[in-house]
Structure 1
Amino acid sequence: MQVNQRYDILPTMIPVSIYIHIPFCVHRCAYCDFNTYAGMEKWIPAYTEALCREIAVVSEAAPEGISVQTIFFGGGTPSYLSASLLNKVLHTVRSHFQVMEKAEISLEANPGTVEPHLFEELREAGFNRLSIGMQSAIPKELKFLTRIHTVEDVQNSVIQARKAGFQNINLDLIFGIPGQTIQTWKNSLEFALSLQPEHVSLYSLTVEEGTPLNHWVEEGKISMPSDDDAAELYEYSMDAMAEAGYLQYEISNWAKQDLNGDWLMCRHNLQYWRYLPYLGFGAGSHGFFENTRISNVLGIPEYINRIKSLSSHQFPASAAVDQILILDRQEQMKEFMMVGLRLTHEGVSLLEFYHRFGVSLLEVFGKEIEFLLARGLIEWFNENKRLRLTKRGKLLGNQVFLYFV
C-alpha cells in the first residue's frame, strides 16, 4: 500500500508527567506483584520525608523549562496515607516544579481504606481525579482476590467522592477470575456502569511469579480460565462499553465524554503510551526522560537511607536509583511501536514516528507491518497516516507487540 511520505514539523516542547509511588497497604492481595508492603506503617512518616527530599533534589538538577501536566499517586494504597501527608507531597511538587494550571492530579484509592472526610480533604489539596479499585461486584470473587472491601464500600466511596466534588472517577475491574462466568462479569460491569464513572479500566487477571495466586496454580489448587474464555469476556466488554457510550482508547481503558464533548481519557497514562517523558519518585518507581530509563530501589528502608545519603546523580536519577538504562535509537523505535499500538483509537502516527526518529516507519518496520496487515491484526486509518490494532488485534495484542520488541 502506498503511503504519503511527506511530513510536517511537530512542536518540540512537551510537558512531563510525575508518578509518585506509595508502597503501603493494609493487606497485600493474592494476585498482586507490585512493589507494595503490608505491616510497615511505622515507616510512613520517614518515607514521606524521603519522597519530598527526592522531589526537591531531582528538581534542582532538572533542565529549565520543564512543566508538569499530570501527577499520579499510585501504589500500593495511596489513600492509606492521611490527607495531610498526601497534601505535603503534592505541595512539594508544586513548590519545586512548574505545575500547569489545569494539570490532572490523580490518586488511587482502595474503597476499603477510605474515610468519607478524606475525599473532601483531597479535593481541597488539589486532587481532581480518583481511581478506585473496585475489581468485582461479586462477593465470592472479591473473596478469592483477597480484597478487603465490599461492593457497598465501592458504592459509598463513589457517593462520597461525588459529594466532595470529584467529577473524574475511574473504576478498575478484573476479568478472567477462576469461577467467573459471563453472567457474573456482566453483573460486575452493570454495577460499575450504574455508578456512572467517567473512566473504566478492565484488566485480565494474570498469574505473576511469586504471588500466592501463582503458588495456588502451581499446587493445582485452582485452574485459570482458558485464553478462549478470557477472550469471550473481553469481547463482551468491548461491545457493552461501546453500547454504554464509552470510547475504548487503549487496550484496557475506556472513557466517557464530559459536558464539553471532550473524552475523559487518563492524561497521565497517555503520557506513557505516547512515549513521552515522565519522572518517578518513591521506592520502586520508574522514570523516562529523553533516552534514559531509571528505576529506584524497591525496599522502603533502603529507599529512605539512600535519600538520606544526599549523594548526587545526573538528572533524572536521584540517590535512590537502582538501575539506569540508556536506550539506543533502535530500542526507542521498538518501544515507541509497542506502547503506541496499545492506543486502540489513535494508534501510531507516521508523522510522529518520522519527527521522533528522522526515518520512515515503513523503512524500519515495513516487513512486520505487512505481515500483521495480511493477518488482519492491524489496519491503516486516517488516510493511511496511522496504524492501529483491529478488533482481532486487540485480542492478540501481546502477540502483535512481539513483532516489534
Structure 2
Amino acid sequence: MPSVLPDGEPVPDDGALPPHALADAGRRPLGFYLHVPYCATRCGYCDFNTYTASELRGSGGALASRDNYADTVAEEIRLARKVLGDDPRPVETVFVGGGTPTLLPAADLGRMLAAIRDEFGLAPGAEVTTEANPESVGPRYLEELRAAGFNRVSFGMQSARQHVLRILDRTHTPGRPEACVAEARAAGFEHVNLDLIYGTPGESDDDWRASLDAAVAAGPDHVSAYALIVEEGTQLARRIRRGEVPMTDDDVHADRYLIAEERLTAAGFSWYEVSNWATTDAGRCRHNELYWRGADWWGAGPGAHSHVGGVRWWNVKHPGAYAQALAEGRSPGAGREVLGDEDRRVERILLELRLVDGCPLSLLKPAGARAAEKALADGLLQPEPYEAGRAVLTLRGRLLADAVVRDLVD
C-alpha cells in the first residue's frame, strides 16, 4: 500500500458513489482488501503506508492502537455495505495485506473476515489470503487462521541468504519461511505463496539461484519474484546515496528475471503475470487477478485504495485519522477520481498486457497498433495470439514490458 496518496476530488462524508458506478455491477467480481498498517520494524526498502510502535507513540493516541483495529476495520466494512446498498454480489476474494497483518491476533483477522461474511457473504470457494511475516506465525497461529476461514497465505521470504536479508533489514532467519510453508500445509492451507526480491545490492547470481531453489524445495504452489525498486525517502535509498551499498542496474535485473523463469519453469511453475508463477491455475492469486482485470474491490484501512465501476478512491493514511473518521460516522476517504473511457482503456492495456492472456488488440489506437506490429517484428509479442487478436508478451517482451506498454497506449 503506497505511502504517497494522489490528489483527487473530495469523497462525500457518507462515501456515496455516483449512480453509474453500480450499473451492471453484477457482471463484475467483488473483492475486499484489508490493510493492516503495523510493523515490528521498518524494512530498509519499504515505502508502504506502515507504522512501527515508536512511530505511532504520541501520534493519534488510542485511536491509532492495533488493540481495537479489527473493530475499526469492521466499521468500514459496514460502511461499504451502506454505500453499495442492495448490491447482491457475494465477495469472491479477500486479501489482508500490510504492514504485517500477523502482528494482530489470529482472532482479530478472523473478526474482520467475519464482518465481510456477515455484511456481504462469501462466494462458494472464495479465496481468502493473508500476508505473513515468517517470524510472526507458528503452527498454532496458522491453525487458528485456517479455522477462521483463511485458505491462502503469503510469506515474505525475499531471500535465502543472510547477507541479502541484512541489506533489506529483514529480521527473519534463513530457513524460517520454508518451515512456515510446511506449517501452513499441516494447518490445512492448500495454497501457499513465497514472495522473493531480486536485485538487492550485494546479491550475486548464485545467491539468487539459491533463493529460488530454496523456495521451490519448500513446496509452495505460488512464487512471486519482484525486482527491487529503491524508493526515495527509504533507508536503503539513503544508504545508496551515501555510497554504503551499490545500486543494482537494469541489466542485472534482467539476468535475474531470466534465472527465475528458467528455475521456476523447470520446477513445474508457469508464469501467469510478469512477476508471478503458479504450479496450477487454481494456485494463481485470484485477488490480484481481480486488480489486473479491472474488477471491483473495496480497500479498507489507512491509505487503502478502492475501485468500483470506474470510480477509484483512497483512504486517509494515518491510523489515528482513519479511526477518527469512522468514529464520527464519516467515510475515511481522502480523495477520489472518476475514470473516463480513455483512462480505463489505458489502464486495461497497462495491466492486462502483463498477463499470460495479454490484452485485446482492439484496445489499441492507430499509433498503438503500429507499435504492436513493430513489437511483433522485434520478437516482443507472440505471433499466434497476435493473429487471434491479442497482444501477448514473449519472454523478451516481459523483460521490456514497461517499454512495450508505453508504446501500445499511444
Q: TM-score, normalised by structure 2?
A: 0.88
* 1:57 aligns to 2:79 (yes or no): yes
The answer to which structure, 1 or 2, has the higher relative contact order (CA under 8 A, 6+ apart) is 2
Structure-1 separation of matches of 2:171 and 2:253: 25
Structure-1 separation of matches of 2:135 and 2:322: 27
Partner residue, 1:370? 373
Shift of 1:11: 11
Superposition map of 1:20-169 within 5 A: 20-39=34-53, 40=56, 43-63=65-85, 64-169=87-192
Structure-1 separation of matches of 2:105 and 2:251: 43
Name structure 2 gaps, 5 residues minimum.
Answer: 1-23
Structure-1 separation of matches of 2:329 and 2:383: 50
**SS state of the match for residue 122, structure 1?**
helix
Partner residue, 1:236? 259
Moved more, 217-226 or 19-28: 217-226
- Confirm or deny: 8 A CA contact 2:221 2:279 kept in the other structure: yes
**SS state of the match for residue 365, structure 1?**
helix
Partner residue, 1:316? none
Partner residue, 1:7? none
**Deviation readout 1:248-278 (Å, 9 max, x if unpaired):** 0111000002xxxx44111000011112111
Shift of 1:371: 3.7
Question: Cα RMSD over matched residues?
Answer: 1.9
**SS state of the match for residue 336, structure 2?**
strand
Partner residue, 1:295? 314
Match of 2:332 among 313, 317, 320: 320
Over the matched positions of the two proteins, sequence identity in percent amounts to: 38
**SS state of the match for residue 151, structure 1?**
coil
In structure 2, do the counterparts of structure 1 residues 195 and 305 end up closer, same or farther at CA, with 3 Å as the change threshold?
Answer: same
Aligned residues: 376
- Confirm or deny: 8 A CA contact 1:16 1:68 kept in the other structure: yes
In structure 2, do the counterparts of structure 1 residues 236 and 200 end up closer, same or farther at CA, with 3 Å as the change threshold?
Answer: same
- Confirm or deny: 8 A CA contact 1:381 1:387 kept in the other structure: no
Shift of 1:380: 4.4
Partner residue, 2:16? none
Shift of 1:116: 2.4
* 1:390 aligns to 2:405 (yes or no): no
**SS state of the match for residue 298, structure 2?**
strand
In structure 2, do the counterparts of structure 1 residues 380 and 304 end up closer, same or farther at CA, with 3 Å as the change threshold?
Answer: farther
**SS state of the match for residue 381, structure 1?**
helix
**SS state of the match for residue 324, structure 1?**
strand
Structure-2 separation of matches of 1:393 and 1:384: 18
Structure-2 separation of matches of 1:402 and 1:386: 17
Match of 1:337 among 339, 342, 349: 349
Shift of 1:181: 1.0
- Confirm or deny: 8 A CA contact 2:138 2:183 kept in the other structure: no
Shift of 1:109: 0.3
Partner residue, 2:270? 247
Structure-1 separation of matches of 2:303 and 2:273: 25
Shift of 1:163: 1.2
Structure-1 separation of matches of 2:81 and 2:67: 22
Structure-1 separation of matches of 2:249 and 2:270: 27
Superposition map of 1:166-315 within 5 A: 166-257=189-280, 262-311=281-330
Moved more, 108-117 or 67-76: 108-117
Structure-1 separation of matches of 2:403 and 2:300: 32
Structure-1 separation of matches of 2:160 and 2:205: 13
Structure-2 separation of matches of 1:221 and 1:115: 35
Match for 2:394: what amino acid? T
Structure-1 separation of matches of 2:289 and 2:383: 21
Structure-1 separation of matches of 2:369 and 2:209: 40
Shift of 1:46: 3.1
**Deviation readout 1:312-362 (Å, 9 max, x if unpaired):** xxxxxxx1101101111111100000000111x211135xx6xxxxxx645
Shift of 1:368: 3.3
**SS state of the match for residue 148, structure 1?**
coil
**Deviation readout 1:362-396 (Å, 9 max, x if unpaired):** 55832332343343322343452321112111111
Structure-2 separation of matches of 1:280 and 1:267: 16
Name structure 1 gaps, 5 residues minimum.
Answer: 1-9, 312-318, 354-359
Match for 1:320: what amino acid? P
Moved more, 139-148 or 12-21: 12-21
Q: TM-score, normalised by structure 1?
A: 0.89
